[in-house]
Chains A and B, each alone.
Chain A
């Protein structure tokens, strides 16, 4: 008896979000990148359409990052550019063929370097001059200054289709307004919770942010540090979206690198823990597995750090996208 395969089709579809604008599109980027668009579970080509490859952005801090979440095994990949985000951006684009970068303004944090907003904007402008890929601008964490910083970045790069990260339920109005005024995308961050993710999307669309400008960040738990919570929340949100819930159908972004590289498991040398094996490769794999697991639960955009981890995940995406 021939087997009829148990295939599933879904009424819903994930929205497409475009990052960056080319010259033809009114910006100055050499490419723009579209994420989302699938009407099936992640990489289920056999029962639906998965038209867009998930994208990976290199995370670049605006000042020399702390050892606590940029340990030596990670720094060694960027040794000559640690204090220079412009050179860093050029390096990942030219040497590692980055398709997207995420500039992370940790220096603006009042508890750290407390850089003025104008200085940060200058860094953004210089980076956008230096490289032609689309850009995500990530603040230091929720707060008044953070919102102001991101809004100013949006204003000063209008027409480039930058992506602002992130709006949270307590701080979203300034960012929503900037997103609309300067044609940006907005990352909506919620604390690993299906309902709160949806609620923030509703708040943003109530403020007239177009839904195709929103990317959801369900908050990433690193491998071994709450990974399974993120994994399951993403699966649940994705099933609701495919089931037809239009307020859940935004694509996902995950900040992977920053979670992976602060764990104990990437920092302990092999001499101390022989059964843990080589520290460098172990750390790279810690980041790559966190990223890969989230791809399987629906991620459309991964923000990562180590070039070897990015390369490994890109190779896997090649395989996952093969029909």
Chain B
């Protein structure tokens, strides 16, 4: 059970030495209670405090690690129901299905598509996390051969969808070195699956008809010492999935019921309506699924879904940043306008969209400002005239344009003078305050310059 700040305070030295970085032991205790810091920041913590806090600081949702190296996935360890309360930590792993009874060409094509599903967006790589091998052949040898083919062709961990532990035993051995998940065990197959998962070092998905049975199944597995568990509630209509995922997360966080303290999975039905399927995946991303298994899919679904996942799992305290430097919008020439703004990703996105819509390609020089928006960055002293001037000179934009004009965001018109001082020979123009007015600015001001 979690300890309160005061309970923790009583276990601390109470010397207010400040070495942990907090002004008082009480302040530090409050942070510990909120699970925002770890006890090891306190150099004088007693063994008693360590063991008491150790027990209390077990995360309410256990971390389950799948795979190794660059493609390792971590699930669980979530601490909130709403992202604005802190953040969602481990992004939902999207896993794409391929059936073991496909012809070779189709099978290989599907694998290469899964491998290619990796996108660079807002300074991050967002990608499909796992390959799912669905047992449709009913043949253990064929299943194992396909598993071997996947391990040879792709670096991703593998999920095996097969209800029969004997049937998937060889396939599980084939993916053992890569890592993955067995999907999955019911009350009837639990013991055999735990044996197999332990032997092959794979995680295990648990399936049950009701939440009660699911929690009991997990406790049974834990009693056998096996905790690499992912909970898969029954798949139904979207309202049912929403209910199950929400209740599991509440039982883990609010009630700290051990049988529900594991990451969850969502198994998307094998329906033929790919829009509806994609929206079911969107539900799982927003509402608490750690792993989503998508049996049939098309490439066009992936970028929208991975973008949603990136949005939902962005830390609300740390907005996404873009890297400083020169960006092209369209195919700008040496006569195109040069816009300047901060590296707040939202600002960047809005501005590129509006420059694109203005019909005039442009250069965009992004100034590093800790991901703050224009006004915030300016008031924090990160986006002054000198900073902008330096960034312009260091960016090398001068080599790409024939004119010497830059366009500042309208909100920081006050830095125009300082920027001109830092940029001798340059004309510093003041653009619109809002990105949405870029088109009007281009039409009314830039085009009138007749560059």
Contacts and interface: CB of A to CB of B under 8 A. Distances in A.
Given A225-B349, A296-B283, A288 B84 contact: no
Contacts of A293: 282, 286, 308, 311-312
B85 to A, nearest CB: 9
Interface string A296-316: 110000000000110111011
Interface of A: 2-3, 5-6, 43-46, 66, 68-69, 111, 141, 221, 223-229, 231-232, 235-236, 239, 262-265, 270, 274-279, 281-282, 284-286, 288-289, 292-293, 296-297, 308-309, 311-313, 315-316, 319-323
Interface in B257-311: 273-276, 278-280, 282-283, 286-287, 298-305, 307-308, 310-311
Contacts of A6: 247, 250-251, 254-255
A227 to B, nearest CB: 5
A274 B436 CA distance: 30
A3 B305 CA distance: 34
A289 B83 contact: no
A284 B275 contact: yes
A69 B359 CA distance: 12
Contacts, number: 171
B311 A223 contact: yes
Interface stretch (B115-123, B136-144, B386-394, B395-403): B115-123
Contacts of B314: 228
Contacts of B240: 322
B26 interface: no
A293 B435 CA distance: 25
22 contacts: A2-B212, A3-B215, A3-B251, A221-B346, A224-B311, A226-B350, A227-B311, A262-B357, A265-B303, A274-B299, A277-B298, A277-B300, A281-B301, A282-B300, A293-B282, A296-B242, A296-B282, A308-B275, A312-B273, A312-B279, A319-B238, A323-B239
Given A6-B250, A277-B303, 12 more contacts: A2-B212, A3-B212, A5-B251, A111-B440, A226-B349, A226-B350, A265-B307, A281-B301, A289-B278, A292-B279, A293-B286, A320-B239
4 tightest A-B contacts by CB?
A: A277-B299, A277-B300, A312-B275, A68-B357
B304 A289 contact: yes
Interface in B76-130: 82-84, 116-119, 121-122
A302 B362 CA distance: 33
Nearest to B211: A3
Contact of A292 (B239, B282, B299, B312): B282
Counting chain B CB atoms within 10 Å of each CB, which of A225, A227, A282, A285 scores highest?
A285
Contact of B242 (A43, A225, A289, A309): A43
A310 to B, nearest CB: 11
Given A277-B302, A319-B239, A232 B316 contact: yes
Contacts of B350: 225-226
Contact of A322 (B82, B239, B254, B286): B239
A296 B239 contact: no
Given A6-B251, A224-B121, A228-B83, A44 B243 contact: yes
Nearest to B297: A277
Given A223-B304, A239-B82, A289-B305, A5 B247 contact: yes
B356 interface: yes
Nearest to A276: B303
A26 to B, nearest CB: 36
A235 B242 contact: no
Interface of chain A, helix or strand or loop or mixed?
helix
A296 B302 contact: no
Contact of B308 (A262, A264, A289): A289
Nearest to A194: B84
A316 B299 contact: no
Nearest to B305: A289
A263 B311 CA distance: 15
Contacts of A309: 275
B238 A320 contact: yes
Interface residues of B, number: 62
B352 interface: yes
Contact of B300 (A45, A236, A276, A297): A276
A277 B279 CA distance: 17
Contacts of B439: 111
B301 A275 contact: no
Query: Which one of A141, A224, A293, A315 has the greatest number of beta carbons of chain B within 10 Å?
Result: A224
B433 interface: no
B237 interface: yes
A69 B275 contact: no
B177 interface: no
B352 to A, nearest CB: 7
B246 interface: yes
Contacts of B305: 289
Given A3-B212, A275-B119, A282 B303 contact: yes
B16 interface: no
Contacts of B286: 231, 293, 296-297
A281 B279 contact: no
B332 to A, nearest CB: 16
Contacts of B121: 224
A54 B436 CA distance: 29
Contact of A46 (B84, B243, B287, B301): B243
B46 interface: no
A262 B436 CA distance: 12
A223 B307 contact: yes
Q: Which of B251, B275, B304, B359 has the most CB atoms of chain A within a 10 A radius of its CB?
A: B304
B44 to A, nearest CB: 38
A45 B240 CA distance: 9
Nearest to B213: A3
Contacts of A308: 275
A311 B276 CA distance: 10
Nearest to B244: A46
A285 B300 contact: yes
A235 B82 contact: yes
B353 interface: yes
Nearest to B119: A275
Given A6-B254, A223-B311, A296-B286, A285 B301 contact: yes
A22 B255 CA distance: 49
Contacts of A111: 439-440, 443
B59 to A, nearest CB: 18
Contacts of A277: 298-303
Contacts of B346: 221, 225-226, 229
A316 B247 contact: no
